[in-house]
Structure 1
Amino acid sequence: MGERTMRIALVSPYDWSVPSGVNRHIGQLGTKFRQWGHEVTILAPASDPEEAEGDCVVMGRPTPVPASGSMARISFTWKGRAIESLLGEGAFEVVHLHEPLMPLLPYQVLRHSQAANVGTFHAAKDGGNRFYGYSRPLIRRWFRRLDGKIAVSPAAARLVGRYFPGYFNLIPNGIDFGHFAGEHEPLPEFDDGCFNLLFVGRPEKRKGLKYALRAFRRIREAEPQSRLIVVGAGSFRRYERIVGPDENVAFRSNVPYGELPRYHHSAHAFCSPATGNESQGIALLEAMAARLPVVASNIEGFAGVITNEVDGLLVPPKDDGALAEAVLRLRHNQDLREALAEQGQAQAAHYSWENVARRVMAYYERLLYERGQVAESQAADEEPARA
C-alpha cells in the first residue's frame, strides 16, 4: 500500500513477553506494514528480553500494577539515553504509541521523538480513570506532543476525552478474520450431540464468567443435553471449585491461539456476559467471524459492535436469567442461529486486520501531508471525531 516506504516505530507500554490485546494489535499492524514494504521497529518492555528480542527493541523490565480490573505489566525503567539515540533525527517518520499516557516508556519516547507522533487509546472504563484525573496536570504536556490521536471505540474516546479533550479518529481493533472464518476441524471430545455454549475470556471479574455459570445452570434445567465450554488465558481453579465435578462444564486454560478456532467450530453459540470496562469486544468479533451466533451483555463496548436481533443478541448485564433465556432461544431456533451467524460474520469482516491497517496507514499519510512530508494525492481525507 502507498507509493513510498515509511520508517515506523510502534510503541507498547506493556510487557512484550506476555500476550495482550494491545500487543497483539501492535504485532498485527507491524506484520501488515512490513508486508507492504515499510520498515517497522517495535519498542516495548519485556520480562523475558531474550525471547522478545527477535520481535522488538526491549526497553526496560515491567512491573505488574492493577488497572481496570486487570493487571497491567508496565515499565518504570528510565531509558532516556537509549531512546534518544534510537529516535535520533530522521530515524523514523511516524512514531505510533499505544496507550501513550501510560507510564513510563511512552513519556520518554514522546520527549525525544522528532517524528509525527500518533497515539492510540484502547481502554474504556466505566466511571472514569483515576490515574488520568490525578495526574492530568503532569501528563497534559505529553498529550500535547501527539500530532494525531486514534481511539479504538467511542467508549475509549469518551474516557480519554473526559480528561484531555480533542479530536480522535475512530479506528477499531482488528481481528484475524481468516484465522477464525477458515475451515477448522471440530474437537472430537465435544462432538456428542450436546448443545455447546462457548465462553472465551480471562478469569477476571469483569468478564462475567460467574453469570455464564449461573445462566448455564438454568439452561441445563431446561435442556440437559447442553455443555458450557470455558476457554481463556490463566487459571480457572477458583471457578472449577465452585462448579465441582460436572462433565457438562469444560474448562480449558491457555489454549494456543492456533487451536482457538477449533473451539469455535465445536460450539453452537457464544456468550460474553462481561459487566463493563470493555472497549470493543474482540472475542465477540472472533466468534462472529467463525459464524457463531453470539449473546452478549448490552454494555457500551459491545453495543458498538452488535446490532441487537440483527447480528447478535444483547441482554442486560449481570442478568443470568436473561442470558439463559437468550441462549435457550438460540437453542430452540435454528433459523435464528443461522441468520445471526450469517449477519455476524459479515459484520466481523469489516474488522479484518487488512482493513484496519489500511485505515491506520491512511491516517499516517494525512498527518505527514500536514507536516509537508507527503504529496497531497497520498493524504487521507478522514473526518475526525470530537471527544
Structure 2
Amino acid sequence: MKIALVCPYDFSRPGGVKSHIVSLSKHLAMIGHEVKIIAPNINANLVEEKNVHFFGQNKSVNIGGTKIDVNIALGQEKKALKSFLQMEAFDIVHYHTIWNPFLPFQVLKYSKTKQIATFHDTPKSEFVGKYIMPTMARWIFRFLDQIISVSKSQSSFISRFSKREIHIIPNGIDLNEIDELAPKKNTRKDDFFQLFFMGRLEPRKGVMHALQAFQELKQRYPKMKLVIAGDGDGRVEVEKFISDHSLLDVELMGFVDEATKYRLLKESEIYLAPALYGESFGIVLLESMAVGTPIAGYANSGYKNVITEEMNEGFAEPGNLDQLVSCIEKLISPPKRKALSKHGLEKVKKYDWAEVSMEVNAIYDRI
C-alpha cells in the first residue's frame, strides 16, 4: 500500500510523536509499504529523514504549561499540498495528533482516501479532558475510517461522547536500533552515582522536582551527580535554582542526539521521570528499560500504562517530592537496581516496533 503519515510538529525537533512516526515509517517500509511523511515546513534543512515532505509554516505558542505548534499551508504552499495529495494518490492517510491546528485538517479536507488517526495526547487540564477533548474527538471521528489510541488512559479522554471502536496500540521502540546505538557497558570515567533527567524544560515535565530531589539527596550522598538533557523556556529557572543554591555536579546538556541519549541512559544509575501530568504513555520509560537503567519518577496516568508491579516502588504520587526522594533512595541499592534492570530488559520486548507495526498493519488491512 501507499501510505502517508501526517505529523503536525516541527520534524527537526526531538519528541515522542516524531519518534513514533519515524519508527512506524521504517517498519511499514520493511513490511513492503511505500511510506511518505507530511510535516510543517520548519527547519527542513535540519531533518535527516529522506521521505519527509514539507508544507506550511509554524508558530509555537505556550498553552497550559507546554508548547503547542500551530501550522498552516497558505497561498502557493496550499496549492502544492493539494497537488501533492492528488499526484501521490495514497491508499491510506494516517494522522498523528490530528487536531493540532491546522495542517492535518487541510490534509483531511484535500485527501480523498481512507483516513486513520492515532491519538497520542492527554489533556493539560481537567476541563479540557472532561469536555473539550471528547467533544472535539466526537466531531473528528466522523471523518475517520479507523481510530487508534496509544493507551487506555489516553482513549478514556476521547471516547466519552462516542461509541466508535478505538484500537489500543501502544507506542513502540526499535530494540535493534537501540542495541546498535547504546554502548554495551557503562564506560563513564568518574565514580559518581549519576541521575539522569531528559525532557523539555517546562513545568509539567517536572525538571524542577528532579533538581529539588537531587538537592536533598546531594546532602546525604556527596558523590551523586545530575545530568539534564533537554531545553525549553524553563532553562532560565533551572539555571537560577542551581546558582541560588550553589548546587554542584549538575550538568545541563541541552538537546542531545539519539546516540548521546542512549549513552547517557546507559551510563546513569537511575533515570528520573518526574512528569506531573499530560503524558499519554511513556516512551522514555521504554527507552530506559531497553538499556537496563532503573527508573524513579511520578506515577502519572500515562506512565501507569508502562509501569509494572515490580517497578511500582520507584514511582511516587505525582507532585509528592518527599515520596520521590524516597523512591530514588530505594533504588540506590545495587541488588535492587540489578533486579529492576533485568526486569525492564524482559518486559520491554513486547513494545518492539517489529511487533507493534504489525498491529498497525492489521488496521490498514481492515479498510
Normalised to the residue count of structure 2, the TM-score between the two structures is: 0.88
| Partner residue, 1:242 | 241
Q: Equivalent of 2:23, from 25, 28, 51? A: 28
CA distance in 1 between partners of 2:214 and 2:45 (Å): 43
Specify the alignment match of 1:281 in structure 2.
282
Q: Compute the displacement of 1:308 (Å).
A: 3.6
Q: Which residue of 2 aligns with 1:104?
A: 102
The change in CA–CA distance for 1:49 and 1:325 in structure 2 (over 3 A counts) is closer
Q: Which amino acid counterpart does residue 363 of structure 1 have in structure 2?
A: I
Equivalent AA in structure 1 for residue 208 of structure 2: K
Count matched residues. Answer: 359
1:55 to 51, 55, 59: 51
In 2, Cα distance between equivalents of 1:141 and 1:59? 25
Paired residue for 2:41, among 33, 43, 46? 46
- Quick check: 1:99–1:121 contact (8 Å CA) kept in 2? yes
Determine the structure 2 residue equivalent to 1:17: 12
Query: Superposition RMSD on alpha carbons, in Å?
Result: 2.7
- Quickly say closer, same or farther: Cα 1:341–1:43, change in 2 above 3 A: same
* Aligned twin of 2:70: 74
In structure 2, C-alpha distance between the alignment counterparts of 1:67 and 1:186, rounded to whole Å: 41
Q: Secondary structure at the match of 1:350?
A: helix
Cα deviation for residue 339 of structure 1 reads 1.0
TM-score by length of 1: 0.84
1:211 maps to: 209
**C-alpha distance in structure 1 between counterparts of 2:133 and 2:214, whole Å:** 42
Pairing of 1:57-206 with structure 2 (within 5 A): 57-78=53-74, 81-88=79-86, 91-125=89-123, 126-129=125-128, 133=132, 136=135, 141-162=139-160, 164-181=162-179, 183-184=182-183, 190-206=188-204
Cα distance change on mapping 1:309 and 1:142 into 2, 3 Å: closer
Distance 2:133 2:213 in 1: 39
Distance in 2 separating the partners of 1:89 and 1:255 = 37
Structure 1 residue 90 displacement after superposition: 8.1
Cα pair 2:134 2:160 within 8 Å, conserved: no
8 Å contact 1:271–1:296 — kept in the other structure?
A: yes
**Are 1:355 and 2:355 counterparts?**
yes
Contact 2:149–2:167 at 8 Å: present in 1 too?
yes
CA offsets 1:229-280 (integer angstroms, 9 cap, x no match): 2112447343122112533222211122221111112111111111111111
Q: Spell out, residue by residue over 1:88-144, the C-alpha distance to the aligned partner (whole angstroms, 9 max, x if none).
A: 39811111011122221222222232222100100012414389729957x855431
Number of the residue aligned with 2:346: 346
Which residue matches 1:3? none
Report the Cα offset of residue 57 of structure 1: 1.9
User: Does the CA contact (< 8 Å) of 1:291 and 1:344 recur in 2?
Assistant: yes
Q: Which residue of 2 aligns with 1:334?
A: 334
Shift of the alpha carbon at 1:312? 6.4
1:385 counterpart residue number = none
Paired letter, 1:168: I
Q: CA deviation at 1:294?
A: 0.8
Q: Which runs of 5+ in 1 are unaligned?
A: 1-5, 368-387
Measured in 1, the distance between the counterparts of 2:71 and 2:263 equals 35
Instruction: Kindly state the Cα deviation for residue 290 of structure 1 after the two structures are TM-superposed.
Output: 1.0
Q: Is the 8 A contact 2:262 2:291 kept in 1?
A: yes
Shift of 1:67: 4.1
Moved more, 341-350 or 285-294: 341-350
Question: What's the CA shift for 1:159?
Answer: 1.8
Structure number with higher helix proportion:
2
Matched position secondary structure for 1:16: coil
Kept in 1: contact 2:193–2:268 (CA 8 A):
yes
